[in-house]
Structure 1
Amino acid sequence: MSAVPRSTPRKVAAVGVALSDCGRVDEATPYALHAQAARRALADSGLGRDVIDGIASAGLGALAPVEVAEYLGLRPRWVDSTSVGGATWEVMAAHAAEAIAAGRADAVLLVYGSTARADIRAGRRTSNLSYGARGPLQFEAPYGHSLIAKYAMAARRHMHEYGTTLEQLASVAVQARANAAANPDAMYREPVTVDEVLAGPMIADPFTKLHCCIRSDGGCAVLLAAEEYVADCASLPVWVLGAGEHVSHAAMSQWEDFTVSPAAVSGRLAFERAGVRPADIDLAEIYDAFTYMTLVTLEDLGFCGKGEGGAFVEKGRLLRDGGLPTNTDGGGLSAQHPGMRGLFLLVEAVRQLRGQAGERQVHRRDGSLPELAVASGTGGWFCSSGTVVLGRG
C-alpha cells in the first residue's frame, strides 16, 4: 500500500502498543529505550516494519524526530515533532490519525524514551527545570516560579474557590497507589494512606512529596495504522474515535482562571468528534504530575461539575473497580513518569480496552470488557491539553 490522498476518510486504529524497560534503568540510553519500545510495539501489532511510513517523536535530539527515525532505521514520508509538554502525545496521536485518515500516511509510529532519573543521578542534568528568561516568561522568572509552584498556586486557588480539601487531593494519590499495586511494572506499589500523604515533606504548599509524580526512566510506543491493516494484526484493534487539542497560556499572568484547564476545550472537542458523552466512558487515563491535575482535568472533561472534583474523587471512585477507573496503571504518581508521560496514557488505555491489563483489568458492571476510554494529557503548567477518545468497536 502507498500513502496517497483519499476522498473517503479511513478509520484509524492503535494496532501495537508497548513499554520499554521502565523504572530504574541505569544502563540504557534514551535512544535504546526508543528502540526497545518500538520493537515491542511492532511485535505486538504482528506487522512488519516496512508498513511504517510515519513517525512522531519529541524530546530527544536536536532534530527530533529525524534523529530517532535514523536510529530506528526508518525513512518516513510523514513526521511530527509537535512539542507541547505532557500533552504532546495526545496531540501527536490526533495529527497522525488525521494524516492516516486522509491517506498521507498508512502507519505512524509514536515513540518516546527518557532516562530522566538516571541522568539526574549521574549528574547529566538538573532536576530544576529552567524555562529560560527570554520572551514573555522573563517577567515571571525573577520571582522563582518553578513548575511545581505554578501547579501549587492553581491548587490553592481551587481550594479557595470551591472548598476543595487537602484530604481530597491526597485521596487521588492513595487511589493511584492502590491501582499501581496490581501493576507489576509500577515503580511504587506499597499502599499509602491519606494521613501518610499529608504527613510527607512539603515540596510546594499545598503539595507534599506524595502529591507529586515520581521520577523514573522509561519509554513506550504506539503504532497507529489504517483500517486496511487490521486484518493482518496480531492483537485486537482499538479505534481512534475522536480527539481535540487546545492551548491556554505560557505566562501565569495570562491565565484567566486558575481553576480551569485547557482540557475544558480539548475534551469537549474530542467527545463531540467521537459522538459520545463523558457518561459513556468506562475508564480514564489522565496526566497526573500532581494530584490537582487529576482532579481538575476530570472536572473539565465533564465527569463532574466545576468545583465538584473534590467530592468526585473521594470514596474510591478512581480505583480500578470504582465508578470511573482512572490511571489504572498507577499513573505518574506511582507507576512511571520519565518526563512527558502522555504516551503512557494511550498504551494503558489500549491495553485495558483489549482486555490485556492482567490483575488490574477493568470490567464493566456486567463483567464485560470496557468499550470506551479517554486519554487526556496536560503540558507545561496547564498550558496545553490533548484529549483522545478510544473505543473497541
Structure 2
Amino acid sequence: MEPFPRAEAAIAGLATFGIGEAPGFNAIELAAQAGLLAMRDSGLDLHEVDAVFCCLPNDLFGGLALAEYYGLAPRFTDSNRTGGSSFASHVITASMMLHAGYIDCALIAYGSNQRSNGGKLATPARSSVWEQPYNPLYPLTSYALAAARHMHEFGTTRAQMASVAVAARQWANTNPEAFAKGPLSIADCLEARIISSPISKSDCCLVTDGAAAIVLTRTDRAKAGPRPAVPILGAAAATWHNAISNMPDLTQTAARESGARAMAAAGVSASDFDTVQLYDAFTINTILFLEDLGFCAKGEGGQFVESGAIAPGGSLPVNTNGGGLSCCHPGMYGLFAIIEAARQIRGEAANQQVGAQLCLAHTNGGALSSQASVVMGSIDTI
C-alpha cells in the first residue's frame, strides 16, 4: 500500500461565508460565494480548478451542481457523503490525485442555509431500519446512547460534558465570527432541557447557516501564492460501523485508527500538536475523540476537560473558534474545523495561538460512524 503523500499537497486558499444567519441565500449560493473567496485568497483563477468536491445538504449531486454554477468543466467531481467527515475525505482524495498528477487544483466547498430555511438539521440520513421502530431522534439519540455508556463505564458526569460546552463558549466569546456568544456556566448547562437523556440542549451543536471552502494544489505551487501555504502532512479515514446499534463498543470510535494512521503518515504524535480542532456535534464527541486520538487515556476524557485543559489558557487549545457548539454548525461542520486549523498555522485565527506550527483537524460523520483526521503544518514542518 502506498503511504499518504506527506506534504505533497497544501491548502493555498481558504474562506468562510455567511456564518450564523444568511437570509436570501440558498445552499449552493452560499457554497459558491465561499469558493470564490477561497480562490481569491489563493491567488489562483477559478478556471484553473480542475476538480470540484462539494457536499450540499439538499443536493446529492453537489459537485456537479457547483461545477455547473461556476461554468467549469472539471476533470473530476466528487460528492462523496460520509456526513461531517466528508470534507476530510475529500482532502485525502484530492491530495492523492494531486500527487499522482491527475489534477492540478482542487476546490472543496460546502454551504447550508438550514437556519434561515426552517431552523432544523437538513440531512437525507435516517436511523437504520432496525432502529426506527424505537423512534429515535436522529442522530441525537445515537450520541446519547454513547454518552450514557461512557458515563456508566467510566463515571463521566453531565458536569464534565458541560465543561466542553463552557470551554467552547469561552473561545467563541473572543471570536467575531462565532454565532453564539455570552455567558455560559456549568450550572446553566445542567439546568438546560434534556432532549435525549443524558444529552441536554447545551450538549448539542448549533443550527446555523454558513459556508466554507478550501483550495488545494501541489505544495510548491501553493508556496508561490500570496498566502502562507498549509501542507497536508498526513490524513486518514476509518469506518467501523454505520448504525449506532452496530457500533462494536460505544466508548471506542474509529478515530483511534484514523488518528493513528494520519499521525504516522505525518511523522508526529499527539503531544506535538499546538491546537486541535474536533468535530463537536455533541459534547460527548470531544471527550471520546480526545481519548481515541491519544490526548488522554480511555475513560479519562471527562476529568481532562473538567480540568480546564481545553479552555482558553489550558494545556491543549481545542476548538479555538468555538467549534460546532458555539461558533457554527450548518449541518456539517468538518470543513470549518479544517479551516480553523489552517488559520492557526497561517497566523490569522481570531484566537491565535502563538507559534502554532502543527494542528490536527478531526472530523466525524453519521452516528460516530465515519472518522477522518487531517494533520496540517507550516512550511517549516516539512
TM-score (norm: length of structure 2): 0.94
The one-letter amino acid paired with 2:84 is G
Q: Say if 2:115 and 2:207, in contact at 8 Å, map to a contact too.
A: yes
The correspondence of residues 163-202 of structure 1 with structure 2, limited to 5 A, is 163-202=155-194
**C-alpha displacement of 1:357:** 1.2
Residues 132 and 329 from structure 1, CA distance in 2 versus in 1: closer, same or farther, beyond 3 angstroms? closer
Which residue of structure 2 lines up, in the alignment, with residue 15 of structure 1? 12
Preserved contact between residue 246 and residue 384 of structure 1 (Cα < 8 Å): yes
Task: Note the C-alpha offset of 1:201.
Answer: 1.1
CA contact (8 A) 2:88 2:335 kept: yes
Distance 1:390 1:175 in 2: 23
AA matched with 2:366: G
- Gap regions ≥5 residues in structure 2: none
Q: Residues 25, 138 of structure 1: CA spacing in aligned structure 2 closer, same or farther, 3 A cutoff?
A: same
Could you report, residue by residue, the CA deviation over 1:126-159 in whole angstroms, capped at 9, with x for unpaired residues?
Answer: 65867457xxx21211111221111001001001
- 1:381 maps to 367
Inter-CA distance 296–101: structure 2 relative to 1 (3 Å threshold): same
Paired residue type of 2:51: G
The residue that corresponds to 1:76 in the other structure is 74
Which 10-residue stretch deviates more, 24-33 or 174-183? 24-33
Partner of 2:325: 333
Q: Is the 8 A contact 2:205 2:281 kept in 1?
A: yes
Superposed CA deviations along residues 196-223 of structure 1, whole A, max 9, x for unmatched, are: 0111111111111111001000100010
Find the aligned partners of 1:56 and 1:131 in 2 and give their Cα distance: 20
- 1:39 counterpart letter in structure 2: L
- Name the amino acid aligned to 1:64: G
Find out whether 1:321 has 2:307 as its counterpart.
no
- Deviates further, 210-219 or 223-232: 223-232
Asked if 2 retains the 8 angstrom alpha-carbon contact of 1:45 and 1:234, the reply is: yes
Match of 1:391 in 2: 377
Is the Cα–Cα contact under 8 Å of residues 320 and 361 in structure 1 kept in the other structure? no
Q: Which amino acid aligns with 1:68?
A: L
The structure 2 residue matched to 1:371, chosen from 332, 336, 357, is: 357
Q: In the aligned structure 1, how far is the partner of 2:321 from the partner of 2:287? A: 17
SS in 2 for 1:36: helix
- 3-state SS of the aligned residue for 1:306? coil
Name 2:301's counterpart in structure 1.
Answer: 309
In structure 2, how many angstroms separate the alpha carbons of the residues matched to 1:276 and 1:226? 21
1:27-66 → structure 2 map (5 Å cutoff): 27-59=24-56, 60-66=58-64
Residues 211-270 of structure 1, C-alpha deviation per residue, up to 9 Å, x if partnerless?
A: 100100010001011123124311000110001101121222321100011111110110
Deviations 1:26-51 (A, max 9, x none): 21111111111011111111222232
Q: Name the CA distance, whole Å, in 2 between partners of 1:10 and 1:284.
A: 19
Mapping 1:91-106, distance limit 5 Å: 91-106=89-104
Matched, 1:249 2:249: no
The 1-side partners of 2:353 and 2:125 are apart by 39
CA distance in 1, matches of 2:230, 2:125: 37
- Equivalent-residue separation in structure 2 for 1:169 and 1:81 (angstroms): 33
CA contact (8 A) 1:115 1:216 kept: yes
Q: Distance in 2 between matches of 1:338 and 1:68?
A: 18
Q: Is the 8 A contact 1:9 1:101 kept in 2?
A: no
Q: Structure 1 residues 311-320 or 90-99, which shifts more?
A: 311-320
Partner of 1:139: 130
Residue number in structure 2 paired with 1:86: 84
Q: After TM superposition, list the pairs within 5 Å mapping 1:228-377 onto structure 2.
A: 228-358=220-350, 360-363=351-354, 369-377=355-363
Secondary structure in structure 2 of the residue aligned to 1:266: helix
1:67-122 C-alpha deviation (Å, 9 max, x unpaired): 1111122211122221100111111111111111111111100000001111215x
Q: Which residue of structure 2 lines up, in the alignment, with residue 26 of structure 1? A: 23
> Do structure 1's residue 118 and structure 2's residue 120 form an aligned pair?
no
Residue 116 of structure 1 aligns to a residue in which SS?
coil
Q: Determine the structure 2 residue equivalent to 1:216.
A: 208
What is the rounded CA distance, in whole Å, between the counterparts of 1:175 and 1:74 in structure 2? 42
**Corresponding residue SS for 2:10:** strand
Evaluate the alpha carbon distance shift between residue 172 and residue 9 of structure 1 in structure 2; reply closer, same or farther with a 3 A threshold: closer
**The residue matched to 2:375 in structure 1 has which SS?**
strand
Structure 1: distance between partners of 2:122 and 2:172: 27
CA–CA separation in structure 1 for the residues paired with 2:339 and 2:247: 31
Q: Is the 2:20–2:210 contact (alpha carbons within 8 Å) kept by the matching residues of 1?
A: yes
Report the CA distance shift for 1:302/1:58 in structure 2 as closer, same or farther (over 3 A): same
How many equivalent residue pairs? 373
Give the CA RMSD over aligned residues.
Answer: 1.6
The alpha-carbon distance between structure 1 residues 279 and 10, as it changes in their structure 2 partners (threshold 3 A), is closer
What do residues 335-368 of structure 1 show as CA deviations (whole Å, max 9, x unaligned)?
100011100011111111111013x1112xxxxx
Q: Write the distance in 1 (CA, Å) between the matches of 2:6 and 2:343.
A: 26
8 Å contact kept, 1:320–1:362: no
Give, in angstroms, the shift of residue 62 of structure 1: 4.1
* 1:64, distance to aligned residue in structure 2 (A): 2.3
Distance 1:67 1:211 in 2: 34
Give the Cα separation in 2 of the matches to 1:227 and 1:383.
Answer: 31
